[in-house]
Structure 1
Amino acid sequence: MSSSISFTEIPPPVSAEELIVVPKNYQHILALEFAVKEINENPQLLPNVTLGFDIYDSHFTAMRTYHATMLLMSTLERFSPNYVCDMQSNIIAVIGGLDSQTSLHVANILDIYKMPQLVYSPAPVMNDKTPGLPFYQMIPKETIQYEGILSLLLHFKWTWVGVVVMDTTEGERFVQTVVPMFSQNGICFDFIIRIPTLTFVTNIKDMFDEGEKTYAKVMASKASAMVAYGPSYSMAFFRFFPFLSEEKQVSDYPKGKVWIRTAQVELTSFVFQKDWDMQIFPGAISLQIHSSDLPHFHQFVESRKPSNTAGDGFIRDFWQNAFSCVFLHQDMDVVEGDICTEEEKLESLTAPFFEMGMIGHSYSIYNAIYAVAHALNAMSSSRLKYMGLVNGGRLKLQNIHPWQVHHSLRTVSFNNSAGDTVSFDENGELMAGFDVINWIFSSNQTKQKIGQLDPEAPPDKVFTITEDAIIWHSWFNQTRPLSVCTESCHPGFSKKVKEGKPFCCYDCIPCPEGKISDREDMSDCYECTDETFPNKNQNLCIPKRISYLTFGEPLGIILASFALYLFLITALVLGIFVKWKDTPIVKANNRNLTYTLLVSLLLCFLSALLFIGKPHNVTCFFRQTAFGIIFSVAVSCVLAKTITVVLAFMATKPGSRMRKWVGKGLANTIVFCCSFVQVGLCIMWLVANPPFPGVDMHSLTEEIVLECNEGSVTMFYCVLGYMGLLAFVSFTVAFFARRLPDSFNEAKFITFSMLLFCSVWLSFIPSYLSTKGKYMVAVEIFSILASSAGLLGCIFSPKCYIILWRPELNNREQLIRRKP
């Protein structure tokens, strides 16, 4: 950060006070030095060759980055581009930069010289670099990181998130990439905030004002999950949030947020933020470049002191900034602040300032150094044409050109001192994964590993996390944070998106009747299978019961008992008529028709039993047709009786020609002809489309009904209709003959019986159609029994009364009723 340039005078040099120092980045330098030291001390790797390095600061600006890169291509300490006059300074590769824009600026120069560049931080813009010489990325491809963040959000069911990015090209690229990806997987965004970068000192006030608005929006959001993306130092900018809250008295917002950081966002601080609170960051989760503990690195760092590292040109500045002290100089008259004693302990520094364990970026630098070393070592042992061999195999580095290193770098593969394999894929990206880190800020530790992202693992093991190990922000009272626009719709409900809102904001509506939802947040309810039905809460499908009218249930017992009882009564009546067969009342109305009618009624009562029990082929085949034929015979007998009464009365008149029609022949003919028509209909029915056992899964919600399918519904109603026609004709004839002067005139009783018969069967049709399942069968059985009992009672009960209790009326004199 520097002063703005007005172009009215020569710009002053950047003063130390105008620089924003990030002490934590000093570890990058230590990792570089440690790796080079190990390689130079390893006799198996690059023997008789000493690696050296130059370090330049890019200041995160394009101008200084280009200048530093040109210095690398020049003689040491002399800016003469394109000329290398020092044989000791032979540049083989460049490692950097810390952020993608820096890497891109470096690449623009290195492409001219075809020099390999190893990038140790995510640099998606490098993929668009033209011309596109290969570069090597010491971290996995960034799409893996995005998929890891998505997996993290989906694991915790955080569907309502906020996004905070630095307003840079990379930040916009991140937004354009993750928004479609996350949206396709059910993640919605409450807001996307772009924080402006601070370039000039004069913009500080504007940044503070914008930061206060941003913090208010973040803290007021219902979303608990915040995805943060930016350069490596962006977390230092995010630390302004609580500071702004204290300054502006913005303290009415909940403080519980889960910050999800990408790998390039290190937990860093500027020097002046040393004593600032970290209250909004505990419980944060980040994807971190995989790193392992390197043997002896901790001791190497611990041993660093300004007094014993003469070649380290950075340690004194680091020490003063990190510990807020100053070193005494001979020309210092007055000392402001504490004096550095070198008794200060690096372990005492907080994680935003320094970490003793190797962080992700430093680990990438360490591996990058080793990758170059192994590539050079492979070149020294391959004996290719471009290799110059002197002194019995010693590598002559001054004869190696940077572009020749690419071939070895592409194929390099080795295990580092921590046991991790380092190799590149076909795109020059490191084949590795990420660690999932939980930031704690407790008294004894700062972070802990809670999972990993391994793209080489089986699909179900790519993303793993130990949720029980996570320590959340104290605001959440150690319960999993909830980050949704609308609380989950429980099973039994479905989502209805609110108009004008993101799809994550919805209402929960109950499932419609007949449908269920068995998981949370279902977009729509669905129907159960035919064999199941929804439970009361409409969140589970329950198997349907098998239902049919059985002899064992109360309804079946009652109907079967009623049928058998009526059968016995009918048999008793038949016995009475057989015993008193020679009495006038039995002989009066065609004794054979009476026997036929009683036998038909007997069979009617028995046919009702065919409707009870589990449907089978035989019972289904016969139940409707047997009932139709038997009832037609019974009604035909009633019709024949009625016609016989009418003809008998008409034949008694003097000179009547009806006497020749009176006799058994006419009655038998009526019974035969009327029954034959019904038999013909039933035969056609059985031949064309007979009844068969069927399963009704839809009529009743909770039952699967075993039934007899009529086969042809048309034939079924034809049989019923013909039977109704016979009953109507019988009723009509009997009605007109009911007042004939005959003591044993059956017409009046037949009228009542037919009236009851027709009433029963007229009410049967709507009742039959309105009932379902076994109750439909019960309605038909009841109609059979009721109509048959009506015939039995209305026609035969008066005669039995006379035969048994009024025998004096059962004589010939009563056959003729004389007028007074």
Structure 2
Amino acid sequence: MMCTQKWPEQGWAILQLVMVVSFSQAKELVCRQRGDPENPQMFKDGDIIIGGIFSLHSSWNDRQETYTNKPLPLECISLNFRDFQIAQAMIFAIEDINNSTDLLPGISLGYKIYDTCGSIARSVRVALALANGNEVVSVESETPCTKPAQVQAIMGDTSSSPCMAVATVIGPFHIPLISHFATCACLSDKTKYPSFLRTIPSDYYQSRALAQLVKHFGWTWVGAIRSNNDYGNNGMATFTETAQQLGICLEYSVSFFRTDPPNKIQKIIDIIKASTSRVIVAFLPFPDMDVLMYKLSQHNLTGYQWVGSEGWIFDSQIAETDKRHILDGAIGLSIPEAHVSGIREFILDLKPVNSFGNGILLEFWETLFSCNFNQSKSSAENQRVCSGHEDLSELQPSFIDMSLMPIFNNVYKGVYAVAHALHNILGCNETCNYKVELDPFVILQHIKSIHFKTKEGDEVYFNENGDPPAKYEIINWQPGENGIADFVTVGLYDASLPADKQLNLHNKSLIWPHISRQVPVSVCSEKCSPGTRKVLQKGKPVCCYDCIRCAEGEMSNTTDSVTCVKCPPEFWSNDKRDACVKKESEFLSYEEIMGALLTAASLFGTCMTAVVALIFFRHRKTPIVRANNSELSFLLLFSLTLCFLCSLTFIGRPSEWSCMLRHTAFGITFVLCISCVLGKTMVVLMAFRASLPGSNVMKWFGPTQQRLSVLVFTLIQVVICILWLTISPPFPFKNFQVIKDKIILECALGSTLGFWAVLGYIGVLATFCFLLAFLARKLPDNFNEAKFITFSMLIFCAVWITFIPAYVSSPGKFSVAVEIFAILASSFGLLICIFIPKCYIILMRPEKNTKKNMMGKGTQKTS
């Protein structure tokens, strides 16, 4: 659609002016970099350039920008000697390659090294400068605005956060970024950082190794301090996750950064003072640890066991500043000790006069020797003039002791990895193919696949995540002769080994805080001894718990048991609750007092019955014995003997036969006994019925009928017992429920119906016998046996009525004792009530044992 609206004349004039200006600018169109160009702090030309990003200064001056003028460039302060040495290690590796005839023959490597001043924003800026260069390119020239990267690879940075920012920016260009000290596990994510590689293991392995180290010494209650950056936060997150899996709890976990205000660091000091844990895991880089150490020394916080990451544990500068020995006995992971031959001599041979284009070396020299190259400025500041020929070997040990040699070795391996990749790409043999156009993507792929050994024999290769194999030395801070801690290797950690062999420690050589040989203890709660279990304290971590004694019947035989194990049914816990012991078997035995007394009573009853039988046998022809069927009397005495003896079957260890015998013998003998008593009662009734005029009852209840009645009544019980034994007989049974710590050996009834049928039948006969005896109690007779039968049956019924609740409520062997007591009591009742009065007359009053006397009283009453 065309716009038909007419513009005002002023609008057309403005449009024409803009077109003229644009046309005039088009003639001078060039590719220009926005902002000021970035110049490297150290550089050297070469056929192939390798970039370097290091924090040669650790801070910068803050300015209050007015936003009315263009901001000035960043003013860096606080020269960082560590990174300066690391940068020199990169230069040494490049020079070593240039002097080699085997690697990249005829190719010279150059470098451009930039200072980031510890600023992430500046790290990104210098990375783009390395990728783009600072040249001004005109459109009219043959050189296009888009051209290959200025450098083929970048070495650095020392920290994880700057590396993450740089890797994000240069990742799309596939420029390899190889770090020597950025350990954050997040950098292993190749979807975010496809061109990042490193020559130091990932913190994923270090964090897990630190957790295993803490667990190895039994420290389950620890504090944690981390740097508030990607290195500290990610590393501590992995440590916390692994620690929880290993049963380690963090009492506190705090973060800080070296630029935090003093009050925040003071809060950390207060937390440490108030804590109960004696172990502190510090996931910090050197600069942050240096700040923290300064504060800790002011408060003299000694006696804590420090566990450190590789960021500070092997740093000699911290050891030198630890004047109060706060870190004595510290233990942690370190990059394996390494040696790069010639690098010490190379660094100590630095001279400003020999280093053209290395402007930062002048500042380094002036700071190191407290002098000035500018004579007029030196005079004004009362400083001596630098000659440039000062001897570095005369400086303090922190610069010349080469404590950073493992990091130098990492830089060395990184530079050599790039050189080997270039060597393969250029097809170098005796000479290299100069016509090959270098592409950072191809270089990146070759670096990922290289595998070589350095001069010192170190293997160099990268896994799929761009990480090297994870190996650490475990070092311990031990007091040295000069008062400065020595770093003593006390073990190794190798993540490539099986899980149970990764950690290898030499415990005998360890020194702990206060120069102690005793491993410090750091637990929230003391270990729970065997026989107890852990119960968590409400609202506290899982490492804080109370030790509760196991309940009866439960045990725990391990330290810090979470649960108590229930003992098997035949076992019970001992007094300490740390083992299950076999339960005592309880049954009514002959050896114990109760069993012996009942046995004695049974035998006494048997003997007493035998004596009565003997008396009756010797006086069998006397009237009192012959009265109402002496045959039934002897049968009754025989059955009473069996009743006394059957009680013995209830004593002793239950067996299959004894269980079947005791109840059936008891049931049959008692029915036989009651049948005889019932027969005697009926004889009494029938005898007096037969004495009435015209009565002929006795012919229907003579001796034969009496025998048949006893036989029939007894056979009925025998049939009941046979059915019981056939269908579901009694059997030995181990009762675990009555007494918890004992096994009650008893006889299970099998069929409860059978048991109560036997008892019920005895009860029916006893009740019937009692009623008949009760009816015959006032019959005329000088010796009315019915009275005594009534008394005996009254005792019998009373005993067995009270037996039922006592039997049901008595535990274990006491129920058997109750049953025996009921058998003996009822047997003695029958024996005493029925036979003792007769024996008394036979033995003590023989004058009454006459037929005349027996019938006399009755004659008088009827006359």
Same fold (TM over 0.5): yes
Cα separation, partners in 2 of 1:315 and 1:546, compared to 1, 3 Å:
farther
Aligned pairs (5 A) from 1:421-432: 421-432=459-470
Residues 1:241 and 2:285 aligned together:
no
Residues 1:149 and 2:248 aligned together:
no
Q: Which residue of structure 1 aligns with residue 501 of structure 2?
A: 461
- Are 1:235 and 1:268, in contact at CA under 8 Å, matched by a contact in 2? no
Cα separation, partners in 2 of 1:130 and 1:808, compared to 1, 3 Å:
same
Q: Which residue of structure 1 aligns with residue 303 of structure 2?
A: 256
Separation (CA, whole Å) in 1 of partners of 2:686 and 2:306: 106
Aligned with 1:283 (options 319, 329, 337): 329
Aligned pairs (5 A) from 1:105-504: 105-120=165-180, 121-127=182-188, 132-174=193-235, 177-179=238-240, 181-183=242-244, 185-198=246-259, 207-245=261-299, 255-266=302-313, 268=315, 275=321, 277=323, 279-289=325-335, 291-294=336-339, 296=341, 300=344, 304=348, 306=350, 310=354, 325-327=369-371, 329=373, 331=375, 332-333=378-379, 342=391, 348-349=397-398, 356-357=402-403, 360-376=406-422, 379=424, 387-388=426-427, 394=432, 396=434, 399-416=437-454, 421-443=459-481, 445-474=485-514, 478-504=517-543
Q: Which deviations, in whole Å up to 9, do the C-alpha atoms of 1:613-656 show, x marking residues without a partner?
A: 44333333333222222222222222332333333344434455
- Are 1:93 and 1:372, in contact at CA under 8 Å, matched by a contact in 2? yes
Q: Which residue of structure 2 aligns with residue 66 of structure 1?
A: 124
Deviation at 1:577, TM superposition (A): 3.0
Deviation at 1:520, TM superposition (A): 4.2
Q: Which residue of structure 2 aligns with residue 101 of structure 1?
A: 161
- Give the secondary-structure state (helix, strand or coil) at the position aligned to 1:438: strand
Amino acid at match of 1:211: I
Separation (CA, whole Å) in 2 of partners of 1:565 and 1:423: 100
Q: Which residue of structure 1 aligns with residue 584 of structure 2?
A: 545
Pick which of 500-509 and 535-544 moved more: 500-509
Structure 1: stretches of 5+ with no match in the other structure: 199-205, 246-250, 381-386
- Give the secondary-structure state (helix, strand or coil) at the position aligned to 2:647: helix
- Are 2:176 and 2:195, in contact at CA under 8 Å, matched by a contact in 1? yes
Pick which of 442-451 and 636-645 moved more: 442-451
Amino acid at match of 2:186: V
Deviation at 1:512, TM superposition (A): 3.8
Q: Which residue of structure 2 aligns with residue 811 of structure 1?
A: 850
Deviation at 1:65, TM superposition (A): 0.9
Separation (CA, whole Å) in 1 of partners of 2:786 and 2:480: 107
- Are 1:22 and 1:269, in contact at CA under 8 Å, matched by a contact in 2? no
Q: Which residue of structure 2 aligns with residue 686 of structure 1?
A: 725
Cα separation, partners in 2 of 1:29 and 1:773, compared to 1, 3 Å:
farther
Q: Which residue of structure 1 aligns with residue 631 of structure 2?
A: 592
Deviation at 1:411, TM superposition (A): 3.1
Q: Which residue of structure 1 aligns with residue 658 of structure 2?
A: 619
Amino acid at match of 1:210: K
Separation (CA, whole Å) in 2 of partners of 1:746 and 1:355: 124
Aligned with 2:114 (options 47, 56, 64): 56
Separation (CA, whole Å) in 2 of partners of 1:644 and 1:589: 6
Q: What TM-score, normalized by structure 1, do the two folds share?
A: 0.83
Cα separation, partners in 2 of 1:131 and 1:492, compared to 1, 3 Å:
closer
Residues 1:581 and 2:581 aligned together:
no
Separation (CA, whole Å) in 2 of partners of 1:773 and 1:780: 12
Deviation at 1:208, TM superposition (A): 1.1
- Are 1:735 and 1:751, in contact at CA under 8 Å, matched by a contact in 2? yes
- Give the secondary-structure state (helix, strand or coil) at the position aligned to 2:348: coil
Q: Which residue of structure 1 aligns with residue 19 of structure 2?
A: none
Q: Which deviations, in whole Å up to 9, do the C-alpha atoms of 1:135-179 show, x marking residues without a partner?
A: 323333433333223323433443333332233355444565555
- Give the secondary-structure state (helix, strand or coil) at the position aligned to 1:108: helix
Aligned with 1:532 (options 542, 563, 571): 571
- Are 2:94 and 2:415, in contact at CA under 8 Å, matched by a contact in 1? yes
Separation (CA, whole Å) in 1 of partners of 2:670 and 2:514: 85
- Are 2:313 and 2:331, in contact at CA under 8 Å, matched by a contact in 1? no
Amino acid at match of 1:326: S
Separation (CA, whole Å) in 1 of partners of 2:385 and 2:570: 83
Separation (CA, whole Å) in 2 of partners of 1:81 and 1:742: 154
Cα separation, partners in 2 of 1:329 and 1:57, compared to 1, 3 Å:
closer
Separation (CA, whole Å) in 2 of partners of 1:365 and 1:567: 107
Q: Which deviations, in whole Å up to 9, do the C-alpha atoms of 1:167-225 show, x marking residues without a partner?
A: 33554445655555544554433333221452xxxxxxx61122112211122112223
Q: Which residue of structure 2 aligns with residue 202 of structure 1?
A: none
- Are 2:448 and 2:466, in contact at CA under 8 Å, matched by a contact in 1? yes
Deviation at 1:786, TM superposition (A): 3.9
Cα separation, partners in 2 of 1:338 and 1:48, compared to 1, 3 Å:
closer
Aligned pairs (5 A) from 1:41-52: none
Separation (CA, whole Å) in 2 of partners of 1:439 and 1:638: 101
- Are 1:347 and 1:356, in contact at CA under 8 Å, matched by a contact in 2? no
Q: Which residue of structure 1 aligns with residue 42 of structure 2?
A: none
Separation (CA, whole Å) in 2 of partners of 1:557 and 1:417: 95
Cα separation, partners in 2 of 1:442 and 1:744, compared to 1, 3 Å:
farther
Over aligned residue pairs, what C-alpha RMSD do you find? 4.1
Separation (CA, whole Å) in 1 of partners of 2:508 and 2:773: 90
- Give the secondary-structure state (helix, strand or coil) at the position aligned to 2:115: coil
Cα separation, partners in 2 of 1:465 and 1:491, compared to 1, 3 Å:
same
- Are 1:165 and 1:171, in contact at CA under 8 Å, matched by a contact in 2? yes
Amino acid at match of 2:512: W
Q: What TM-score, normalized by structure 2, do the two folds share?
A: 0.79
Separation (CA, whole Å) in 2 of partners of 1:338 and 1:629: 130
- Are 1:235 and 1:266, in contact at CA under 8 Å, matched by a contact in 2? no
Cα separation, partners in 2 of 1:343 and 1:414, compared to 1, 3 Å:
closer
Separation (CA, whole Å) in 1 of partners of 2:718 and 2:779: 33
Separation (CA, whole Å) in 1 of partners of 2:285 and 2:137: 30
- Are 2:106 and 2:431, in contact at CA under 8 Å, matched by a contact in 1? no
Pick which of 363-372 and 617-626 moved more: 363-372
- Are 2:550 and 2:577, in contact at CA under 8 Å, matched by a contact in 1? yes
Separation (CA, whole Å) in 2 of partners of 1:117 and 1:536: 67
Amino acid at match of 1:438: N
Pick which of 25-34 and 307-316 moved more: 307-316
Amino acid at match of 1:364: N
Separation (CA, whole Å) in 2 of partners of 1:337 and 1:660: 157
- Are 1:306 and 1:316, in contact at CA under 8 Å, matched by a contact in 2? no
Cα separation, partners in 2 of 1:462 and 1:276, compared to 1, 3 Å:
closer
- Are 1:410 and 1:424, in contact at CA under 8 Å, matched by a contact in 2? yes
Q: Which residue of structure 2 aligns with residue 201 of structure 1?
A: none
- Are 2:185 and 2:204, in contact at CA under 8 Å, matched by a contact in 1? no
Separation (CA, whole Å) in 2 of partners of 1:500 and 1:413: 53
Identical positions, percent:
34
- Give the secondary-structure state (helix, strand or coil) at the position aligned to 1:56: strand
Amino acid at match of 2:465: N
Cα separation, partners in 2 of 1:55 and 1:757, compared to 1, 3 Å:
farther
Deviation at 1:51, TM superposition (A): 5.3
- Give the secondary-structure state (helix, strand or coil) at the position aligned to 1:239: helix
Pick which of 551-560 and 685-694 moved more: 551-560
